[in-house]
Amino acid sequence: MAGVELIKVKPEDDGMRLNRWFLKYYPQLPLSRLQKLLRTKQIKVDGKRSEAAFKLAAGQEIRIPPLNEGATVREKGSLTPRDEAFIKSLVIYKDDNIIVLNKPSGLAVQGGTNTLRHIDGMLEALKFEKPEAPRLVHRIDKDTSGILVLARDRKNAELLTAAFKKHDLQKTYLVLVKGCPKADAGEIKAPLLKAGEKSQVSAEGKKAVTRYRVLDHAGSKFALIEAEPLTGRTHQIRAHLEYLGTPIVGDDKYYGEKREKFAALKDKLYLHAYKIDLSGIYDKVRITAALPEHFAEALEVLGLQI
């Protein structure tokens, strides 16, 4: 058939899920289109029908039918010098096992419909002395800033993925909220149910626990909070702080009926992945990520301190 391609899986993509492979090399391909191509058997691996979650092996051959206009494969080395310099500027820690980035607010971790520029698409620039690009082992929301851990090989990817899944790694976020919790510290225990693109507190939801501590406050108007999710539900901190009556400044999804805007503050989400303790896996490795400019400026304007 005209336009059909057969592409071999590279060694660095060994073990990658088929849908992740398409996100990496065909970022403009809508997810709905990919699912349809898989369902109608137009995409095959080694001549056989495959599901989105199928794990690829190096050397396998992927059949690619004609795709939507503009959905072209991104070949190795196609990153612009500007993007290479940009992604390297985000590195705050690097050793033989991991790379840690301080992700800016507004940059997606992975691609999707209408998301053409993302961390996953720039990982080739972070090989350094290694033969393969680092791998994603977890993700944070597009508008959340802060720590993003990358594994530098398959062994470390499996180790970290399991640890994140079991919530064995202590993660600490800094949050600027409207209002101030009545208690200076505590645990928010409210089950969360996924409903469309949001999570909502519901008795039918899954267990969700967030530990928090008020670091500073501007009377009853604003508070700087340190939050630690003890479970890993979608948008957990955001949903829990709204439930507490202190929504995150700049949150479009979790701010009650109508979000407030503040003239003295930049209109961005004030949720930052601040610290991670990896010492349970890598001895003495604890990482802290500096606040983004808009967050640091807000604390100065409000007279708040960490």
**CATH architecture group of domain 170-302:** 2-Layer Sandwich (3.30)
* Span 155-212, pLDDT tens digits: 999 999 999 988 889 999 999 999 999 999 999 999 999 988 899 999 999 999 999 9
Contact, 35 vs 52, CB < 8 A?
Answer: yes
Q: What share of the chain is helix, strand, coil (3-state, %, to 5)?
A: 20, 30, 50
Q: Do 246 and 138 form a contact (C-beta atoms < 8 A)?
A: no
Residue ranges of domains in the chain = 5-64, 81-165, 170-302
> Which segments in the chain show pLDDT lower than 50?
1-2, 69-77
Q: What's at 228, amino acid-wise? A: E
Rounded distance, CA 65 to CA 50, Å?
Answer: 14
Active site residues: 141
**Is-same-fold flag (5-64; 81-165)?**
no
Alpha helices in the chain (DSSP H): 18-25, 31-39, 81-89, 154-165, 236-244, 293-302
pTM of the model: 0.76
Q: What is the tens place of the pLDDT at every residue in 235-256?
A: 999 999 999 999 999 999 999 8
5-64 topology per CATH: 3.10.290
With 0-12 / 13-18 / 19 or more C-beta atoms within 10 angstroms meaning exposed / middle / buried, residue 59 is exposed
Pick the CATH number of 81-165 from 1.10.10.10, 3.10.20.600, 3.30.2350.10, 3.40.30.10: 3.30.2350.10
